[in-house]
Structure 1
Amino acid sequence: MKDWLRKHPEVRTIRVAAADINGQARGKRIPARFAEKVLKDGIRFPYSVLNLDIWGEDIDDSPLVFEEGDQDGTLRPTERGFMPMPWLEAPTALLPIWMYRENGQPYEGDPRHALNAVVQRFKAQGLTPVVAMELEFFLIDDSGKKLQVPLSPRSGKRRKAAETLSIRALDAFDTFFTDLYDACEAMDIPADTTTSETGLGQFEVNLMHCDDALRAADDAWLFKMLVKGLARRHGFAASFMAKPYPEYSGSGLHTHFSVIDRNGDNVFDSGGPKGTAMLRNAVAGCLDAMADSTLLFAPHANSYERLVPEAHAPVNICWGYENRTAAIRIPAGSPSARRIEHRVAGGDVNPYLMLAVILGAAMNGIEDGMDPPPPVTGNAYAIDGLSTIPTTWAAAVDAFESSTTMPRIFGPEMIRNMVLTKRQEIHYLAELTAEEQVELYLDTV
């Protein structure tokens, strides 16, 4: 890590940052000449900082604040090391960190540690998840009272229509996407294909599959930070909020995963299109946990605007082969690449918690030998009798809190912190108008 700074003498300041419970970057700005001290000793800030609400406020009834004296944790660099922050004008480096207790144990209220605990469950069985994510987002002109697609830097025109898989829509923002790919290269984020999507000014970027789930979540977290920051340099906003436009489909964060064994073989590969018994076990685990874990796939008030029938987002708890109307899809293709696509999460999630609950639920299914119901065919929205995910934010909080499945995936402190945070947000969001809610979520999530 020291070598990176030596090779980049132009960097005068660094940011040290961890992801809080909402996926917001929390940390400090430090002169680069003091970076060695951070690498050696870490830095300190209160445990409560990783449990702030969406405004960045303390949780009123959290024991972390007054009851426990607002104690400090120690934050140390992750394996990622330094990287540039191409959305800033001055040369600056970002150092991702995560939180530990005084005794050196991981702080279980840290979302990255929550994911690592799940990864260790796989490791204990000689298994490794291989993960890829597809992130959808909107480019938005938010300079006026009404949100709209930005003017094209090429034509100076504003295209007020969805343009699914349109090359013209991509070309209209070519300078932005060229800078984005250059920045991803500099930050070592494996950005692959970009497409224009069904929403107004909506795009999707796929991140390549990775056999390190922590790194995959890092990539998604860093990518969201990069896209939002870089868009502002180009004179408009980028937002991962679930549904900024009521009349258009919202943004999802679809997660693809397979599992390899000690020999590097895909344990979901049966040599044919249906996959193995272990694939079906994993599907069953994901379905079993889906209602209770909806809060992590839809963590904000606006999230539930996206989860409506026939809006390219799942509402029924079901699975199917090559079926995008189902919550879980098994894509077609080469048997060696057999995998699960989990389609529930919105773009507004914390990637660490989202991936932790997906992989943790899959491992529950594998450990318990669960069997899923039959796969659905046709339009899953039109099938009667299927269980549904919670339709309101409050119901999702209740389901998460009372779940007997979530304690198999998360420690009690993470569950408590999430419930207290979301109940506080529900209370204060009720005081905001719809326009104020959009303004809140546009840049934060």
Structure 2
Amino acid sequence: MKNWLRKHPEVRTIRVAAADLNGQPRGKRVPTRFADKVVEDGTRFPLSVLNLDIWGEDIDDSPLIFDSGDADGVLRPTERGFMPMPWLEAPTALLPIWMYREDGRPYDGDPRHALRAIVERFKDLGLTPVVAMEMEFFLIDDSGRDLRIPISPRSGKRRKAAETMSIRALDSFDTFFTDLYDACEEMDIPADTAISEAGLGQFEINLMHCDDALRAADDAWLFKMLVKGLARKHGFAASFMAKPYEDYAGSGLHTHFSLIDKNGNNVFDDGTPQGSKLLHQAIAGCIHAMHDSALIFAPHSNSYDRMVPGAHAPTGICWAYENRTSAIRVPSGSPKARRMEHRVAGGDVNPYLLLTAILGAALIGIEDRLDPPEPITGNAYALDLPQIPDNWEKAISAFENSDIVKRIFSADLVRNFVLTKRQEMFYMNELTPEEQVEIYLDTV
């Protein structure tokens, strides 16, 4: 890590940052001359900092604050190391960190540690998750009272239309996307294909599959920071909020997932289009946990505006082969690439909690040898299916009282997340829809 800074003498300051439960980066600015101390000794801030609400406020009833004296945690660099922050004017480096207790134990309330624990449980079975994530986001002109698509730097025009898979829409913001891909190269984020999507000013960039789930979650977290920061540098906003426009589709964060054994073989592949018994067990676990995990997939008030029938977001709990109306889709193609696509989450999620929920549910399906229901055919919206919770209150209660959630997440994290969401719900109810959009636009 120290060598990276020595190779980049132009860097004058660093940021050390960890993801809180909402996926917000929390940390410090440090002069470069003190960076060696951070690398060697870590840094400190209160455990409660990873349990702030969306406004960055303390949680009123949190036992992490006054009941415990607001004790510090010790934050150490992750294996990711230093990377540039190309959206800032001054040369700056980011050092991702994660939280430990004073005695060296991982802090259970850190979402990155939650994912680590699930990955280690797979490792005990001789299995490694392989994941890829599809990142949908909006480019937005938020300079006026109403949200609009930005003016194209190329044409000087503002096209108020959804342009699904339009080359023209991509070319309209070619300078932004060129800078974005260059920045992904600098930060070693594996950005692949870009397309324009069905929403107003909406785009999607796929992150390549990775056999390190922690790194995949890092990539998604860093990508969200990069896109939002770089858009501001170009004079407009970018947002991963689930549904900024009432009349257009919202943003999802679809996750593709397979498992490999110690020899690198895909254990979801049995040479047939149907996939292996392990694939079906993993699907069964995800189906079993989907209702109670909805708070992870839809963590904000605005999340539930996206999850309505016919809006390109699943509402029924089901799975299918090659069917984008289902919550879990098994794509067609070569058996060697057999995988599931989990389609429930919005773009506003915390990537660490998202992968923990999906991989943890799949693991339970494998451990308990569960069988899934029959795959559906046709339009899932038209079928009589068990439903994903359709509002915030239902999702919070389901998450809080779930036995299967407790098998995936630590008791501390469940408690902290529920307290956070109940506080947010209380204060969000006091805001107008426009005020809610304003807070979500820049945060999620």
TM-score range, shorter chain: over 0.9
Aligned amino acid, residue 88 of structure 1: L
Distance (Å, rounded) in 1 between the aligned partners of 2:288 and 2:314: 15
Deviation at 1:262, TM superposition (A): 0.6
| Residue 369 of structure 2: aligned partner | 369
For residues 114 and 77 of structure 2, the distance between their equivalents in structure 1, rounded to whole angstroms, comes to: 16
Equivalent residue letter for 1:326: S
Distance in 1, matches of 2:98 and 2:65, equals 19
Partners of 2:164 and 2:393 in 1: CA distance = 33
CA apart distance, 1:399: 0.1
1:52 match: 52
Letter in 1 for 2:413: M
Compute the displacement of 1:18 (Å): 0.0
Which digits, 9 at most, give the CA deviation of each residue in 1:207-253, with x for residues without a partner? 00000000000000000000000000000000000000000000000
Aligned residues: 444
SS in 2 for 1:49: helix
Q: How does 1:276-291 map to 2 (within 5 A)?
A: 276-291=276-291
Are 2:320 and 1:309 equivalent residues in the alignment?
no
The whole-number CA distance in structure 1 between the counterparts of 2:193 and 2:279 is: 26
1:152 matched to 2:152? The reply is yes
Q: Distance in 2 between matches of 1:257 and 1:283?
A: 10
How far is the alpha carbon of 1:316 from its aligned partner? 0.1
Alpha-carbon distance in structure 1 between the residues aligned to 2:163 and 2:107? 45
Offset, 1:206: 0.1
Secondary structure, aligned partner of 1:405: helix
1:313-328 aligned within 5 A: 313-328=313-328
Q: TM-score, normalised by structure 2?
A: 1.00
What does residue range 434-445 of structure 1 map to in structure 2 within 5 Å?
434-445=433-444
Which residue matches 1:18? 18
1:76-124 Cα offsets, whole Å, 9 max, x none, are: 0000000000000000000000000011010000000000000001000
Show the counterpart of 1:142.
142
Cα deviation, 1:285-313, whole Å, max 9, x if unaligned, reads: 00000000000000000000000001000
Runs of 4+ aligned residues of structure 1 deviating over 4 Å after TM superposition are none
Partner of 1:195: 195
Displacement after TM superposition at 1:272 (Å): 1.3
Letter in 2 for 1:286: C
Could you tell me the TM-score, scaled by structure 1's length? 1.00
User: How far apart, CA to CA, are the structure 1 residues paired with 2:262 and 2:84?
Assistant: 35
Alignment of 1:60-209 (within 5 A): 60-209=60-209
Distance 1:272 1:322 in 2: 14
Match of 2:417 in 1: 418
Partner of 1:409: 408
SS of the aligned residue for 1:113 comes to: helix
Aligned-partner Cα distance in 1 for 2:117–2:175: 40
SS in structure 2 at match of 1:248: coil
Deviation at 1:172? 0.1
In 1, Cα distance between the equivalents of 2:319 and 2:258?
A: 16
Counterpart for residue 341 of structure 1? 341
Deviation, 1:393, is 0.2
RMSD: 0.3
Deviations for 1:13-51, whole angstroms, at most 9, x for unmatched residues? 000000000000000000001000001100000000000
Gaps spanning 5+ residues in structure 2: where? none
CA distance, structure 2, for counterparts of residue 147 and residue 42 of structure 1: 41
Counterpart of 2:256 in structure 1 is: 256
In the alignment, which residue of structure 2 is the partner of 1:41? 41
Please show how residues 208-227 of structure 1 align to structure 2 within 5 Å. 208-227=208-227
The one-letter amino acid paired with 1:36 is D
**Letter of the aligned partner of 1:81 in structure 2?**
G
**Paired letter, 1:165:** M
